[in-house]
Amino acid sequence: MNVVADGGNKKTSRVRVAVRLRPYMDKQDEKGEGPCVRGLDSQNLEIINWRNATETVKYHFDVFHGEQTTQQQVFLSSVKPILPHILTGQNASVFAYGPTGAGKTHTMLGSSEKPGVIPRAVQEVFNLVKAKDEDEGWDYNIDMSYMEIYNEKVLDLLSPSAQDLPIREDKDKNIFIPGLTRTTISSFSDFDKHFVPASLNRTTASTKLNQRSSRSHAILLIKVVRTERSLPHRQQTGKLYLVDLAGSEDNRRTGNRGIRLKESGAINLSLFTLSKVVDSLNSGTAIRVPYRDSKLTRLLQDSLGGSAHSVMITNIAPEYKYYFDTFSALNFAAKSKLIVNKPFTRETVAVPVLPVKRTREDQEAGGSGNEPQKKKQKEERKSEQDGSSPSAHFHSLSEPSVMDRLIALEKLMMSCQDKDRITMLKDVAQSRKEIQELKEKQREFESKALLLSRLAREKSSTKEEAVFKNNTAPLQRKQSNPTKPNKQQAVVQPLQVSQLQPLQQLAVCKKQSVCVKKKEKKLSDQVEPPDGKENAENDWEFQLETSVLELSRQKILQVLNSGSLKELKGLQQIGDKKAKLILGWREIHGHFTKLEDLLKVEGMTAKRFSSFMKANILSAMGK
């Protein structure tokens, strides 16, 4: 039975939200790009505003743990204080949220040198019980259960043969799982003895080790049952859930490698529902907290909100490649906190680091639309302002369709409470993926261009030089970068500079893709180190009229996007298997925006793509 906390007059208690930023994993990256997010003090952090690189978005949390924070500090500030409650029949939960690679497992489990929350909490529970033993008339019994939620199924990790366990509620509204193994533990080493092999069960249960562990929720339950020694032998049960959540990134991001729809949907459902639950609890306005909408929240129902003590540690990473995952993780975490979100003041952004000229109106607007977390009422007014200017200046910065979509998504995100949020988060992740891919391509082009121009020089072949000159476009990025931060003026400089790079790269990529011939040339360049033979082989495109070529490409794209299985198989070099993979890709990602998206389909190497293009374009033209 739970004792009602907070003086007994509170129906629900807030979920405390901590954010932990992990250090860079690679010192090179740190030097190279600088972080996209950083702490300001023990409660605030800022992240570069993707809508305007001269601004950052600030967030306020219960606690911010910077990259130097030790495991011990995280434990002391976020976890230790709630533990005494479970000895008095109250429930508690600690869960680590965030994208894969941001440090959830490090935070929860840690390593033998740097033990995380789980070992420390278990040790502390034993300490607390030990300290109690003598003076009060209670006997304490501690047991553990360890489970995993994968694909909306509850699996018992202490007894791996138990699959898909049901979740039930007793008449006192306690949640329990009939059939779940409960192992009594009498010491920390006892715990370790059971926990370690069970953890192995988790990861060895699947051949796709990493994928599975990043898509499942690992839930350790420590139960403290205390029984009064004298009559009437009252009994109280306190539960502590320690949860390493599934990665919050959009699982479809890896979908181009064949992820099953059901799986990604299920994981999103649990995390999505968790976000709704946390939202409802923390806003205090929800009439109904939607615990029942997913297994995870149903399981945590009596230990999240209500009289329970809950802490969410949102893990984030500093690298740019995590930007959108970080952004959405922060929004999830902060939404429940009514974010404090201020634009940088004019003085701090005075240095013109953007390669685009901002119009006077833009500047006067003082970074319009950099407040993604404002409340609904303000939002409506703002979105009108935002309608033109940010997209206008981002157009010149980057690939328009991606940025437009981000802007639209952000607006929606701000105005929509939760209903469509999952779709939007997915779309944000998708856009992020596109940006990442463009960046990667760009990088490839850059290195290729360097190599080739060197080669070209060696051969002093004028033709090649002309072709590859275009490939060196990204180097412009470097030319525009000398707008080095002026340390005296700009507090946010390191963030600004790094933001420029991806955006500029995008702009460059887009321009290239407009030129069909050159784009194709480059694509074929990606296949193999281009030598004379390779180039000659790909010259077929150069003999075609651009407009005719474009028309053929459109035709193929149309078949890819709307063709039936049969029609897909009608394409050159597309057999039954490929056609099905294309259909599957379409189901997950919507549609192919360009033919090059085919490269994301499983098994479609650049070489195959190149050959596919050649065969189909020639076929479309009747050659």
Contact positions vs ligand ADP (CB under 6 A): 22-23, 25, 98, 100-106, 214, 315
Report the candidate in 595, 538, 534 with the shortest Cα–Cα distance to residue 561: 595
The residue (of 105 and 538) whose beta carbon lies closer to ligand ADP is 105
Element (H, E) at 236: strand 235-244
To ligand ADP, the closest distance from the beta carbon of 91 in angstroms equals 24
CB atoms closer than 10 angstroms to residue 175 = 17
Per 3-state DSSP, what percentage of the chain is helix, strand, and coil (rounded to 5)? Answer: 55, 15, 35
The residue (of 48 and 96) whose beta carbon lies closer to Mg ion is 96
Query: Which of the residues 92 through 121 are near Mg ion (CB under 5 A)?
Result: 104-105
Residue 463 burial (10 A CB sphere; 0-12, 13-18, 19+): exposed
23 binding partner (options ligand ADP, Mg ion, none; Cβ < 5 to 8 Å by kind)? ligand ADP
101 binding partner (options ligand ADP, Mg ion, none; Cβ < 5 to 8 Å by kind)? ligand ADP
To Mg ion, the closest distance from the beta carbon of 212 in angstroms equals 11
To ligand ADP, the closest distance from the beta carbon of 358 in angstroms equals 37
The size of the interface with Mg ion (CB under 5 A), counted in residues, is 2
To ligand ADP, the closest distance from the beta carbon of 67 in angstroms equals 7
CA distance linking residue 293 with residue 389, whole number of Å: 40
To ligand ADP, the closest distance from the beta carbon of 101 in angstroms equals 5
CA distance linking residue 409 with residue 425, whole number of Å: 8
SS3 138: strand
Q: CA torsion sign, 245 to 250 to 254 to 255? A: positive
Where b means 16+ CB within 10 Å and e means fewer, 318-337 reads bbbbbbbbbbbbbbbbbbbb
Tokens encoding 70: 């030790």
For the chain, give the longest Cα–Cα distance.
98
* β pairing state of 138-150 and 153-156: antiparallel
Q: Which residue is nearest to ligand ADP (CB)?
A: 103
The residue (of 243 and 308) whose beta carbon lies closer to ligand ADP is 243
315 binding partner (options ligand ADP, Mg ion, none; Cβ < 5 to 8 Å by kind)? ligand ADP
Residue 484 burial (10 A CB sphere; 0-12, 13-18, 19+): exposed
CA distance linking residue 293 with residue 166, whole number of Å: 14
253 binding partner (options Mg ion, ligand ADP, none; Cβ < 5 to 8 Å by kind)? none
The residue (of 329 and 613) whose beta carbon lies closer to Mg ion is 329
The residue (of 25 and 515) whose beta carbon lies closer to ligand ADP is 25
The residue (of 102 and 617) whose beta carbon lies closer to ligand ADP is 102
13 binding partner (options ligand ADP, Mg ion, none; Cβ < 5 to 8 Å by kind)? none
Query: Which of the residues 298 through 327 are near Mg ion (CB under 5 A)?
Result: none
The residue (of 205 and 583) whose beta carbon lies closer to Mg ion is 205
Tokens encoding 534: 């390779």
Q: Which residue is nearest to Mg ion (CB)?
A: 105
The residue (of 104 and 226) whose beta carbon lies closer to Mg ion is 104
SS3 242: strand
Report the candidate in 551, 583, 554 with the shortest Cα–Cα distance to residue 567: 583
216 binding partner (options ligand ADP, Mg ion, none; Cβ < 5 to 8 Å by kind)? none
22 binding partner (options ligand ADP, Mg ion, none; Cβ < 5 to 8 Å by kind)? ligand ADP
To Mg ion, the closest distance from the beta carbon of 184 in angstroms equals 28
Tokens encoding 375: 């409340």
98 binding partner (options ligand ADP, Mg ion, none; Cβ < 5 to 8 Å by kind)? ligand ADP
The residues binding Mg ion (CB under 5 A) are: 104-105
